[in-house]
Copies of this chain bind each other. A is one copy, B any other.
Amino acid sequence: MMNFNYHNPTHIVFGKDRLHELNQLVPESAKVLVLYGGGSVRRNGTLEKVLTGLGNRKVVEFDGIEPNPQFNTLMKAVEIVRSENIDFLLAVGGGSVMDGTKFIAAAAPYQGNATDLLKHGFEWLPIDSAVPLATVATLPATGSEMNMGAVISHESGKLPVMSPLLYPQFSILDPTLTFSLPSVQVANGVIDAFVHVLEQYVTYPVDAQVQDRMAEGILKTLIEVGPVTLAEPENYDARANLMWSATSALNGYIGVGVPHDWSTHMIGHELTDLFGMDHAQSLAIIQPSLWKIRKAKKQEKLLQYAERVWNISEGTEDERVDQAIDMTRAFFESLGVKTRLSQYGIEPGEVDRVIHALQEHGMTALSETGDMDLTISRQILVDAYA
């Protein structure tokens, strides 16, 4: 096991009918900016309950944070925070709204040019304050409700933003608020959470048994509850397990003391940026092909994954690995998500554009050991096309 630090101060408020607790959770004197995306939280009544929960506090609303939240949109909210003396941000929505709110929290008090904040990658931002933020999470997927990271879209690409000042103070996770999600978003969320686990688990072995067993536990839960959630949208326990799986997949706990990969995410970000596909769609395309190309490097953990997650115990090592990859792909497809680039109407020659974008963004030494160059990324993309 590798040395690690773990410190996650977010207070999780999980379960049915918790929105009225906003009245205790948000400071009484706060002037609150409530941020959300399209109109769904308005239509399904969540926004109204949030506003009721905030009681007599001064509230300003900011809507229109789009999927893959755009820098320019977020800077409009930064202006409001500054001009209205907002001192608490409440994100109501999924990963994009939560991520966007984190960026606003960092940018509002920042004295320099806000684009500076997009240049630090996985390093912590050089900031010493942020506006306190919290979330009402309505989409189990990204884990943003209990971590310190965000991904922001800018003309220069999809860029990570990290700071321990950006942990939500609290997050309310009410599974009933997810009952009305479109099934495509549910499927995307299952895949997003699943690949979050894989990027921290299918790396090289460091004998971190607790983390491995917990990672496998989340994967098995997602395999069980994903299809149930799609078939029975109002099955509370399935929704609750999906929601807590997604949070647990990326709140840092399973990722302590182990190497992380994230190359599926990095290539996936380029697909979203270039072709507009959903984040989870991009992951479903890249992950199986990345394993096909990298199976020698990842063999030991792929065999463990095959045995413990998919109960594959017969055949040669190579056959077992192939079977695990095929079952992963089949799982994604069973949720209604395509796993081939060609299925999105993309021309074979477009692979060059992805490689060019990776190069532009400095993504030339990916993976848990930094050995994944553009030649390997091209092999993965070619495999992912067919």
Q: Which residue of B lies closest to A17 (CB)?
A: B3
Measured between beta carbons, the chain B residues less than 8 angstroms from A214 are 213-214, 217, 248
Those of A1-22 within 8 Å (CB) of chain B: 1-16, 18
State whether the Cβ of A323 lies closer than 8 Å to any Cβ in chain B: no
Task: Give which listed residue, B6, B10, B210, contacts A218 with CB less than 8 A.
Answer: B210
Q: Which residue of B lies closest to A4 (CB)?
A: B14
Given A14-B257, A217-B216, decide whether A224 and B237 contact each other with a Cβ distance below 8 A: no
**Scoring A residues 179 to 216 as 1 if CB is less than 8 Å from chain B, else 0, what string do you get?**
00000000000000000000000000001111111101
State whether the Cβ of A244 lies closer than 8 Å to any Cβ in chain B: yes
- What separation, in Å, do the CA atoms of A216 and B2 have in the docked complex? 23
Q: Is the CB of A1 within 8 A of B221?
A: no
Q: Is the CB of A240 within 8 A of B1?
A: yes
State whether the Cβ of A253 lies closer than 8 Å to any Cβ in chain B: yes
Measured between beta carbons, the chain B residues less than 8 angstroms from A3 are 14-16, 18
Given A12-B6, A244-B1, decide whether A221 and B210 contact each other with a Cβ distance below 8 A: yes
Measured between beta carbons, the chain B residues less than 8 angstroms from A213 are 213-214, 216-218, 220-221
Shortest distance from the beta carbon of A232 to any chain B beta carbon, whole Å: 13
- What separation, in Å, do the CA atoms of A1 and B175 have in the docked complex? 10
State whether the Cβ of A241 lies closer than 8 Å to any Cβ in chain B: yes
- What separation, in Å, do the CA atoms of A70 and B170 have in the docked complex? 37
Q: Which residue of B lies closest to A14 (CB)?
A: B4
- List 22 contacting pairs A-B, 8 Å CB cutoff, sorted by A: A1-B15, A1-B237, A3-B14, A3-B16, A6-B11, A6-B14, A7-B11, A7-B170, A9-B9, A12-B256, A208-B240, A208-B241, A209-B221, A209-B225, A209-B241, A211-B244, A212-B217, A213-B216, A213-B217, A213-B218, A214-B248, A217-B217
Binding site for B on A (CB under 8 A): 1-16, 18, 170, 207-214, 216-218, 220-221, 224-225, 237, 240-241, 244-245, 248, 253, 256-257
